[in-house]
Amino acid sequence: MPAGNLAAPNPEATSTTRPQPASSTPAGKRKNNKTPYALIAGVVVGGLISLCILVLIVLRRRYATAKDSESKSTNSCHSSLPSDRCRRFSLTDLKDATDEFNANCVIGNGGFGKVYKGYMDNATTTVAIKRLNPSSSQGFHEFRTEIAMLSKLRYVHLVSLIGYCEDDGEMILVYDYMAHGTLREHLYKTNNPPLSWETRLHICIGAAKGLHYLHTSGKRRIIHRDVKSTNILLDEKWVAKVSDFGLSKLGSKEDSQTHVSTMVKGSIGYIDPEYCKTKHLSDKSDVYSFGVVLFEVLCARPVILQQLTHDQVSLASWGKSCYRKGILHEIIDPKLSGDIARGCLEKFGEVANSCLHEEGVERPSMEDVVWGLEVALKLQEVADEPISDKQELPLMHGEARIMD
């Protein structure tokens, strides 16, 4: 080795240092083979986390949008109402009117919620305030329908909507106060004195006129869909007013024989059986329900009584059966015994029975129902007159006279 050369020969391999076998793949390349798997795993995990975050963001935005849409929908209901026909009250207004919704102010309780008697405009106006119960099966749709229908209707035999409140998620409706409550409160399960037969006839005629107005007054028929004795209210002069339009539907424009297809809704004992079978709703469905009310007025009993014999459970079926057998006088309210003229009873029974035909096409229109009840009232008035003052009842629509 030349002098000054710092290089030294490689040391000899010892027994503890073995030469490694040659590899066909360099070490650097082996390390690079593991890198793509780690990278893929990292990308997948990161992607899943990002996806979860994105889903949460989308769901939160959709929820916020839905709440905003519901709020706008409710507000749009108000914006479309005539300001001179329907007032929007604050929740504070209605709390003041009912002494903070005091239980002592409750005058009724239905499917929508409790009804309170309230005093507004410095106690100069008495109102009925219906507040939605959060656990009720009814809700925003019925609330909106009631406002949409009643804000556009003004008729002596329809209850008047004064206004509504939707503050803080509340749904409250404000109506004219009806001093004598519901028709049912004067028929059975009550301490109220019984109504005279003539008063009952006037109430039936008024309610029939209210339904006739709904079926004929506008470009499209309004089908009430929940006609029953608790939805017929009585003011201080015993004038009947149809109420509760939460289930109402718009029908056809002209032809009364056409229908709308819809889910069956209404009250057990009053629902048109044809409507139940076909899901086809028409104004004749209201006629059927009103026929049940007529028998309810005559007999003063609930429309369904499970404890009775099979043929008497349903008032509609029992009333029709008794009428056809000619024994209608046997099922009238005992408190009316001797008060109903024979001819009046027969005409009243004829009208009620005709409303309950199984097929809607066979039922009368509400106009015909009004006319038939007015004939029954005239027959009663004539029968009540002293013999010397009686006059002949003019024939109408080809009907034969039935007189005592």
The domains found in the chain, sorted by start residue, are: 87-176 (3.30.200.20), 184-389 (1.10.510.10)
The predicted-structure confidence for 286-306, as pLDDT tens digits, reads as follows 999 999 999 999 999 999 999
CB 333 within 8 A of CB 359: no
Output the pLDDT for position 255.
Answer: 52
Q: Quick one: angle between helices 140-150 and 27-79, nearest 10?
A: 30
Output the pLDDT for position 57.
Answer: 81
Residues lower than pLDDT 70 in the chain: 1-35, 62-85, 135-138, 252-261, 386-404
Output the pLDDT for position 44.
Answer: 72
Q: Summarize the chain as % helix, strand, coil (round to 5).
A: 45, 10, 40
Q: Quick one: angle between helices 283-299 and 315-325, nearest 10?
A: 70
Output the pLDDT for position 105.
Answer: 94
Find all residues with CB under 8 Å of 52, minimum gap 6, and list them.
Answer: none
Residues belonging to the active site: 226
CB 383 within 8 A of CB 341: yes
Strands (E), 227-331: 232-234, 240-242, 249-250, 260-261, 280-281
Strands (E), 49-160: 87-88, 106-109, 113-120, 125-132
Q: How far apart are CA 339 and CA 398, in angstroms?
A: 27
CB 177 within 8 A of CB 126: yes
The predicted-structure confidence for 15-37, as pLDDT tens digits, reads as follows 444 445 444 445 444 445 555 77
Question: Cα 104 from chain centroid?
Answer: 26
The predicted-structure confidence for 96-154, as pLDDT tens digits, reads as follows 999 999 999 999 887 778 899 999 988 889 999 999 877 666 678 888 888 888 888 88
Output the pLDDT for position 344.
Answer: 97
